[in-house]
Every structure is written in C-alpha cells, then in structure tokens.
Amino acid sequence: MTFLDSAVWGGKFCSDGWRHSPARQPVTEPATGDRLGTVGVATAEDVDRAAARAAETQRAWAATSPQRRAAVLRRAGELFTEHAAEIEDWLVREAGSVRSKAGFETGLATGECFECAALPAHPQGEVLTSEDARWSLARRRPAGVVGVIAPFNFPLVLGLRSVAPALALGNAVLLKPDPRTAVSGGVVIARIFEEAGLPAGVLHLLPGDGAVGRAVVEAPEVRVVSFTGSTPVGRAIGERAGRLLKRAHLELGGNNALVVLPGADVARAASAGAFGSYLHQGQICMTTGRHIVHESLVDEYTAALAAKADALRVGDPAREDVALGPLIDRGQLERVHGIVTDSVAAGAKLAAGGEIDGAGYRATVLTGLTTDMPAWREEIFGPVAPVVSFSTTEEAARIVNDCEYGLSVGILGDVGTAMRLADRIDSGKVHINEQTVSDEPNAPFGGVKASGTGSRFGGPAANVEAFTETQWLTVRPDIADYPF
C-alpha cells in the first residue's frame, strides 16, 4: 500500500479517524478529465461534530510539552521529504502543476513544517512593569480551534502554512480544502500528520462546498478563521466573522506589478517577467499581472517577452515535458479567454498567444492597453502579461498604486532608483531585481487594500500573532489589601 493509497481515504473524510460519507465527489484530472478517485464530502452537521470534538482534544494537545509538539512538526517535515515523489504526482495530476512547480511546492511544505517545529520553543509572552508589588506578565495562549479554508492553486502549501503553525502553537484545526484539490490540499496534509503522531481529533479534514465553509466559519468553537482565496469570498468571510466577533486572517487576490526601470538588462528582465506571469499558468495570487516598462525599453522588452511566450509549450504535465499545464477547470479557462478577447475588442493588441490550447491557454502578451480594460484592471488568474509604458518614476509609482490590490511588486534595474520607488508603493511585499512570485516559510506574507488583512503568515512573529491570544497574568506574594 502506498502512502496515499485510496483504500485509506476513498469515499471518506477525516474527523477523529477516516469516516465513510454518503455524499461523495470525484477527484478529476484537469488535463484529461479523467477520474482519479473519490473523496467523501462533509456536511454542515459533520462540521459541527468536528468542531465540538476539536475543542475537546485541543486542551490536551495544548498541554502537551513543547518538545512533543515540536517532534510532531519535525516528523511531518521528514515525511514530506520521504513521500515527495508521490505527493508531487498528485500535485501534477490533480492541480495541473508542471513537475518543477510541484517539486517547489513540496519543498516549501517541508520547510514550513521545519520552521514551525521551532514555534513551541519561542518566547510565549513578556514580563511587564507594574506599579504594584506583583509580577505582571502578558502571555500568549492558543486561540483554541482554528478554521482553515484553502484554495486550489498551491493547494498543499497554502493550507499547510496555516495548519502547521496553528498546530505547533497548541491549537486544533478544521481544514476545508478547495473541492477541486481535495487530495493534494487535504488528504495529503491529514495523512502526513496522522503518520507524524498527531493525536486523533486535533486535525479534521472536511472537504465540501461553500456550505461547509460557512459552517466552519460559524461553528462556535472556531475562534480564528484563516482564509486564502478570492477577494469577493474573503470579504464575505470577513463580514461573517466580524458579526461573530471572530478574527479572520484573509490572504486574497492580487494584480501585481513588475516595473522595468530605464537601463535594465532587457533579456534578464523579460526572463523575470515571463516567470512571474506564466508560472503555474498564472494561477498564483502573486502572479505578475501588470508589466510597467520604461518608454525607452518597452518595444524591446515586449518583443523579448513575446518570444519567451511563443516558446512555452502547453500540455499535460503528467505525460509531457511542458512549461504550462491545464487551467484548473473549463470555467476558469473560458473566463481567461473572455478577458483577453474583451480587451482586444476594446483596442488592445496581441503580441503573443490569446488562444485556448486543449485544457490550457497559450502564454499571452497584450500591448496597447488603457487602464480601464479588463486585462489591466482585473486579476486574470491565467497566463496573460499586459504591458504598458511609463516615462518618469513618479508616473510608475502612480500606475502601480492605481489598483485595488496591494500584494506584491517587483522592480528591475538600478537599485537606488528602485529603493526610492519602493518607498512610494502600497504593497505587502516589494522585491528589487526579482519578479513578483516569492515565498519562504520564515518571511512575513500578506497584502494590503483588497489583497487582504496584512501579514498573518510566515515567521514566528506573524504566526504567534495569528494563532494565539494574549492573556494578562499577575502574581503577588500575598492576598492584596482592599478598602472594602
């Protein structure tokens, strides 16, 4: 039996053990439409039961020694390495990842677990001064039960980056993966922690639709909700959580800018731009969605970027050596094509691509855009690179900031100029002489404006803030004297 053998999870979800479900959904390969298996679908009632059980088990898990919790996280990281090939196969077939992206994602998962293994040993508060004869402490306590709702594009790491720190800090977790990636974004994580020695009932895997997600948010035991996904859904979750007085950590969409400064190396800049726009078919919140190029370089850059796009082969990453795999489903494929065709109809010009290719989309370059065209204003979530020019640094800053999102910006060229430009940009992340897609387990990750509620992932400071509560504790040598 393999690590991810369907005999373990087929037709089931995981809630205090693997449970058969009367409701099931197929696991589908987007490149071919083939069925890869069947997962059990949870109901709102299942969520309620899981939340109650999680609240029971959480107290014992939080009382487990820091060394024991750290050991579970370390073992989870080791298991990701031991079973990397099998996990990568699922990322390729279920999520449409090309092989290199699948390997990168599995490596990030390993690093996330090792990074979070250190969290139980981090300082859990601070000693405060007090004007009275007592000790005064602010200590961090586990939030309790954490609800994690994860997307399809990097399904493994975007769920794990909340699951791992929440567990390490003594919380229980309800995980709802995207239905389209329930194995690579759900079953994999549940199996890893099951084998790593996490006690039963601490982590619950609850695949399902929006009703299941709403139940996770509304369960009284859930005190923190961590959501990664689209801005409209994130707004709805934030509103619902706010009414229930729960914290919601929201990592949402992006329409990220890559600025190419005068004097930049055009060949290297085009390579960076192609990677930023076309990695994983552009289905990344950090994808380079706007190329802002100095007027002295824009023609040369566009030609170089178009040549890169034309050379990228589209196909089935499980059976071919390709640069671009399928989009996640037909609806997303048609949406991307609609944005491109609507923009062309409005006057934009195709320098490359613009065509559906089987279950995928050709790497596309658009020029001649105005800022009101959909390919410029919207988060496309496809392999499309719109290009405009600028003349001054002030104009570049204005174009970058003229966007509802603020997640990631790359600036290519002179470092001094880039530093001054970075100081004028509204963005959660700025990368000088790099493109927009970057993530490391120890680095804070998050956006501003419609991209979310700031950095609530990555590194001890963000993770402790995200998944614990602060408790004020005082201690004095004797019972105090009171005037009553």
309's enclosing H/E stretch is helix 298-311
Q: Nearest CA to 447 among 284, 223, 243? A: 284
Give the DSSP letter string of 209-250.
Answer: -HHHHHHHHH-TTEEEEEEES-HHHHHHHHHHHHHTT-EEEE
3-class secondary structure, 55: helix
Q: Distance between CA 101 and CA 46 in Å, rounded?
A: 34
Of the chain, the end-to-end C-alpha distance in Å amounts to 71
Walk across the sheet containing 468-475 and list its strands.
125-128, 135-142, 468-475
The CB density around residue 347, as the number of other CB atoms within 10 Å, is 10
C-alpha distance from residue 296 to each of 207, 261, 277, 293, 409 (Å): 51, 9, 22, 8, 21
Residue type at 237? I
Q: Distance between CA 237 and CA 133 in Å, rounded?
A: 45
Instruction: List the structure tokens of 379.
Output: 């988060």
State the DSSP code for 120.
G
Active site residues: 251, 285
